[in-house]
Amino acid sequence: MNPILALNAVELARALRARRVSCVELMEATLEQIARENPRVNAIIRLREREELLGEARACDAELARGEPRGPLHGFPQAIKDLEPVQGLPTSMGGFGPLRDFVARADGIMVERMRRAGAIFIGRTNAPQFGLGSHTYNTVHGATGNAYDASRSAGGSSGGAAVALALRMLPVADGGDFGGSLRNPAGWNNVFSLRPSIGRVPTSARDVWLPTPAVLGPMARSVPDLALLYGVQAGYDARAPLSLDGEPGRELALDLGRDFAGCRIAWSGDLGGALPFEPGVLDTCRAALESFRELGASVEEANPDFPLDEVWRAWLVLRAWQAGSALLDVYKSAALRAHMKPEAIFEVESGAKLSAYDVSTASLVRSQWYEAVRAFFERYDFWLLPSAQVFPFDVGLDWPREIAGRRMETYHEWMRVVLPVTLSGCPVVTVPAGFGAGGLPIGLQVVAPNRAERAALELAHAYDRRTGWVSKRPPTMIGGTGGAR
């Protein structure tokens, strides 16, 4: 691997500004890494022509020579998740056939900010159709393999982003999260992600007043890198009236140091026996808890005081209402419906059965759940849960139909461990928890109170400095054939 790619994003940004590394050198190293790693995993799709990209890199070098850096991402090669509009690039919405060659005429708000910060858009990262399901595959671009074992799932819907990060094909990456789409891929590929508070990163939604649980956020190989991209993405935009002010900190040197002596942490595990887990997942996550105790924190098992079945039923209603309504126009066209995956049809048809009263009742449950979580955070500073209930499964499956002998009734039930956090609206940083007996990674959700992104980043950073899991690189990058080193 080219030594340039061994730099983390904060180091790389400084090296580019100081002109110790050129943007052309970075682009050449990135394209070489993609040529070496991507054919095996299919994380990056729609890669642009080499000469075009090198031309843009040369232009970035010329700007630096004139003392005109655009921002923290100046010269960074970036592949945007194939659900966000990027001006001039195909946006197939996760491999929806009729949109195979659709080209966006304008950037989305987040993409616009990344472009303004100096990013060079080299292509796309793969995603499942319409972002549905926590497994990255579609009939247009194919499946994305896990960074640690390409025969296993990368997770989703930000699976391509997570794998590209883990294999050093990108310095940082973007993603989105409704039902774990930032968290599961990060946990399964041994990297970090931040699902921010609702509204922190503005989105280019069709309905600007719809209070959706879906958010956009950053992924990275270190917590300072995560904070770097978050600072670019976050902040109010008048086009998104429900968006919040950002927390960017200093542009390239956000200080995340903090003492955690006396910090109170709750660990929920299987949420009091409510959820099934593949053997080894909980054991791996419990072993990681010791690192938080070594930081001086107390960790005890506890759960918010609220019936989780009610949260699950509310989730099903709100998901069907919002995901289904977004796809209704597609569903109404017989020609387009023929290309929809079963999960997309399921959401539309489930949503069609709902009344306005069903939706308002589910929203009320969500509000009651938020109050229960808010009260929980009066007792604890942070809340920890696994990032998934299983290790990465066979890439040829659509979704796990059973966990520990319990049948999964819907395509998202196997990810129930992330859904209470989604409906709480609280920010969560996913951190690596380690590797199971088969050498595959799993992660932990580090949840903080609403709008306390900085606190979650600080704890994640302290944990990372103690554990260093990301240095356990994928086997192809260290000469092995499987497992972690």
The bridge status of strand 77-81 relative to strand 120-125 is: parallel
pLDDT confidence tier of residue 479, bands split at 50, 70 and 90: very low
Token pair of 379 as six digits: 């007792």
Query: Residue 254 has what pLDDT?
Result: 72
Q: Residues 239-242: contacts with CB within 8 Å, 24+ apart?
A: 239/109, 239/202, 239/204, 239/208, 240/109, 240/199, 240/202, 240/203, 240/204, 240/205, 240/208, 241/208, 241/209, 242/198, 242/199, 242/208, 242/209, 242/211
Of the candidates 388, 397, 338, the residue with the CA atom closest to the CA atom of residue 136: 397
Looking up residue 372, the CATH number of its domain turns out to be 3.90.1300.10
pTM of the model: 0.96
pLDDT confidence tier of residue 441, bands split at 50, 70 and 90: very high
Query: Residue 472 has what pLDDT?
Result: 84
Beta carbons of 116 and 71 less than 8 angstroms apart: yes
Beta carbons of 392 and 188 less than 8 angstroms apart: yes
Of the candidates 93, 91, 99, 100, the residue with the CA atom closest to the CA atom of residue 132: 93
Token pair of 474 as six digits: 């994928």
Q: For residue 255, with 0-12 CB atoms within 10 Å meaning exposed, 13-18 middle and 19 or more buried, which class applies?
A: exposed
Answer yes or no: is 238 within a domain.
yes
Query: Residue 16 has what pLDDT?
Result: 98
Mean of the pLDDT values across residues 419-432?
98
**Degrees to nearest 5, angle at CA 169 with 165 and 173:** 45
Rounded to a whole number of angstroms, the CA Rg of the chain reads 21
Answer yes or no: is 36 within a domain.
no
List pLDDT tens digits, range 11-51. 999 999 999 999 999 999 999 999 999 999 999 999 999 99
Mean of the pLDDT values across residues 360-373?
98
Q: Which residues lie below 8 Å from residue 286, measured CB to CB, with a gap of 6+?
A: 267, 269
List pLDDT tens digits, range 319-342. 999 999 999 999 999 999 999 999
Q: What DSSP character marks residue 475? A: G
pLDDT confidence tier of residue 482, bands split at 50, 70 and 90: very low
Residue 485 neighbours by CB distance under 10 Å: 13
Query: Residue 476 has what pLDDT?
Result: 66
Euclidean distance between the first and the last CA atom of the chain, given in angstroms as a whole number: 16
Of the candidates 106, 12, 116, 10, the residue with the CA atom closest to the CA atom of residue 63: 116
Query: Residue 249 has what pLDDT?
Result: 45
Alpha helices in 96-233 (DSSP H): 109-116, 159-166, 183-189, 223-233
Answer yes or no: is 39 within a domain.
no
Query: Residue 480 has what pLDDT?
Result: 37
Query: Residue 247 has what pLDDT?
Result: 60
Query: Residue 206 has what pLDDT?
Result: 86
- Nearest-10 Cα torsion for 356, 358, 360, 364: 180
| Angle between helices 453-467 and 223-233 in degrees, nearest 10 | 160
pLDDT confidence tier of residue 250, bands split at 50, 70 and 90: very low
Answer yes or no: is 325 within a domain.
yes
Total number of domains constituting the chain: 1
Mean of the pLDDT values across residues 405-413?
97
Beta carbons of 443 and 294 less than 8 angstroms apart: no
Answer yes or no: is 70 within a domain.
no
Answer yes or no: is 27 within a domain.
no
Of the candidates 353, 354, 330, the residue with the CA atom closest to the CA atom of residue 340: 330
Answer yes or no: is 261 within a domain.
yes
Query: Residue 253 has what pLDDT?
Result: 54
Answer yes or no: is 38 within a domain.
no
Give the largest CA-CA distance in the chain. Answer: 63
Which domain range does residue 151 map to? Answer: 78-111+128-477
List pLDDT tens digits, range 275-313. 999 999 999 999 999 999 999 999 999 999 999 999 999
Token pair of 281 as six digits: 């997942």
DSSP reduced 3-state for 384: strand
Give the span between the Cα atoms of 97 and 91, in whole angstroms: 11
